[in-house]
Structure 1
Amino acid sequence: MSKRNITDEEIGLIKAMLKRGMRNDAAHFHFNRQDRLISPGRIAQIKSGKYGGAIASADDVALDRFLTEFWQRSGASPKAPMSSEQSLIELFENDGANGWRLKGGETDRVECKRSFRIAPEQRFAEVVKAIAGMANNKGGIILFGVVDRTLAVEGLTDDEFEKIDPAMINRILAGALDPIPHVTKSSVMVGGKAVGILTVEPHASAPVIALKMMGQDVKEGCVYFRYVGETRTIKPGELRQIIAMREQRAVADFSRRMVGVATGTQATLDLESGQVQGNTGAFVIDQTLLPQLQFIREGDFSEVRGAPALRLVGDVQPIDKEAREKARIIRDSVTPDSVIRNFLSGEKVADALQYIYAQAHCQRGWLPLWYYVKGAGLATDALVEDLRSLVATHPSSRDNVVHRLRNIQAAYKVHPGRPSVILKRLVAGEVMAAGSSTENMALSKAIMGLPDGFQAAVSMKSVVLEMLDKTSAGSAVRSAIYRAACRLDEILYR
């Protein structure tokens, strides 16, 4: 096997992992080794079909065998139970008179619930606790329609699990846990009875922490861990293990980057001199600009998705050391003001992707998004995956962007009172203009309630821009204006 190439068999296995719902970083974990470092971008290329497109995906049997052997070689347990329908059915057995039951009982990766209820919130608290515990351990599955004491398969008695939108589950998790665990919903027929399944992936950025109280089961600030047959507050030993694993990943990532520097695929930046040095050349960033630089995530910034690249805004010329003092490179930062003004004025930007990533690094919660998504020309799933792996300055802002991309959260909101009256006038075709602070607040709230397909949305952009120009920074009216701009963004480009 080549030390730099992935075999056809491995490409087939990677395709099977991605087809099963594994994230790119989880698939990458199984094939990246110290003696053969693979770029995460290679997984993205396989997913898009740009690399190994003619190679067929491995079947479920081959993938299950590979995963089992992989974890046996590593001396650990699989991170999550197998997720094919056949492997799930094999968790159960028919013991004759007593019918179908769960064979192995509740473990550190399997929990049973007799029924599924998402409301009121307290009824779902036990499930949220179990999800947090599994995400902090090796992942797992929660089975609905299976009695936890007897392990008997009773099946779901209604269609609430089948009808529930996964976005609703994610919305609850987003408000209760940080970081947000990745959960997928499925179902299987066991002995003619429906069993609902929530599959929980182990979180790469554990520990997952509870953000608020939920009934008697979930307490704010607690870290839960899945032990054999129960989910409880984490013990010191397991918490130390999570911290140690994070440190190992950081060391591995550092080693990978150093290999890149040694082989010339990556360059180094001297923060004192401002020199960027690589095997093929060098350039200098003016020292007065170094403190102002905003560093952005590696990868996906070239014409080929997934290829490692450093993106600099400005003219960059290779120089030698003697010309260092003559060089001056200027980089303009992507600011919240530029994000909203470029949208409202309809100005095209050179790299729309950076206007999306910039929203993970600022505290403002509402900034136009879909205008830049269209400009970037990338699929929503790819953007979500990249954002979730991003080391964000403000994780909550990054999560807000993800929720909007997934349509879990939107700027749409109908306000009562005067904004409601103005909303009706706008829908009826009346033209409005910016006015006083009070008038601008009411008009901004009215714009938030505009329906999808509103025909005059384009003309409203100039009105919002005029209100923005007349409103001072830090004003509550300004926050309403930003959200109003986001609603126009949704109507025009989502």
Structure 2
Amino acid sequence: MSIRKQNKESGNGTTNYSGELQPKLSTRSPFSQEKLNEIFKISSKDPNRIISRESSNLEFKESFGWRSLPKYLKTCAAFANTKGGYIVFGIGRSPHKLLGLSGNSLQQFENIDPAKLSGQFNEYFSLEIEWDIHEYELNGKIYGLLYVYECKDKPVICKKDSDKVLKEGDIYYRYRGRSQRIKYSELRTMLETKRIKEQQLWMRHLSQIAEIGVRDVGIFDFKSGQVSGTNGSFLIDESLLSQLSFIKEGEFSEEKGKPTLRLIGKVEAISSLPGVGRRKKIVKVKGIRIGDIVLAFLNSEKVQEPIEYIKQICFESTAFLPVYYFIVLANIDRQKAIKEVEAVISRSRAKSKLIERLKQPQTLFITPPTSSTEASEKKKKFLRDLQQSLINRDLVGKDLLYCLQAIRSLTPSQVKQNDEYLRGLLKEW
């Protein structure tokens, strides 16, 4: 009896060792800078408030505390039964003020034991809920984010009561900013979708069996090591399972004596899939905003992820930021930078303007004034003072504007000669 395992990529995903259909994974992280920007959309009228609203995949909490765990679990189950979502801790409910976590609330969040939290999920719900946790620092304040992935084998069902919040047998669903018991129409759609997926999976397996031949097919149980088929069965010793070498059809094993299995397609280890076989931990990331971009440039900071700074420009109010500094740090050329920017999902005009800047490089040099108007005379004086490091650091209003314009009239050699002094001025202003 020959053993063959077929695995063809389909529009719905790939097959792992267990034979289960795995969804195609999004290459976009739930905690990417783009996603964080979508959540933390700061109001143009109030820098301490965000304009994002609670929705089918977003919920805000002012603080974090274990006493409210049943409410968190209910929301997470609702997200898992819908399309996934975030609980963001440190945001005011109404209006959505940027409060941040502090004191005991921050300490409790930072001390979350992933094993304990996973245990709570498993204690109260029937299917495993996949989740990740994140700590985000923005403008000196820290926020906690708990992301729940969409369950691929819905529904997730509550199996234990808790504090009149969770009720055994309930299925929770996310409706426009609130989590509640699922309604008939959504439950029917969910169950019908599950039935269709199972039917498709069976048809795929049956098609593979028919292609190979029913008499030549064996079922390999990776948990027990047993292989069974029409001609009998046998066991593979547990100590040998980890040593098995898979070879593709048409190839051969170059290591004689090493046990092999014939394979059609590709085998992917379950441990390589997200959320499986990896230990969860809180990932801490500092947010990037226009001030961070400018200061990193002025301080000649060697940031760890310069490409993220380039991408962030796409979300700001202007594209006239020091992009080339970060291109050099990232050790990429303009064409690579353009591709990175084009891949960013942003509706801001800054994105298109940044692409234009990169495709058509130009200097913003201003020819020194030659007229004798009052404004021109001031600019001339500022230009002389800049070269002699004599600028008054308390400039405001039009004088500050004229001085900034004078900086743009410096030649490259003059800028290089006064580099440290100019950076110091700009940081103060």
- The TM-score with structure 1 as length reference comes to 0.42
The structure with more strand, counted as a fraction of residues: 2
Structure with the greater alpha carbon radius of gyration: 2
- RCO higher in structure (CA 8 A, sep ≥6): 2
- The TM-score with structure 2 as length reference comes to 0.48
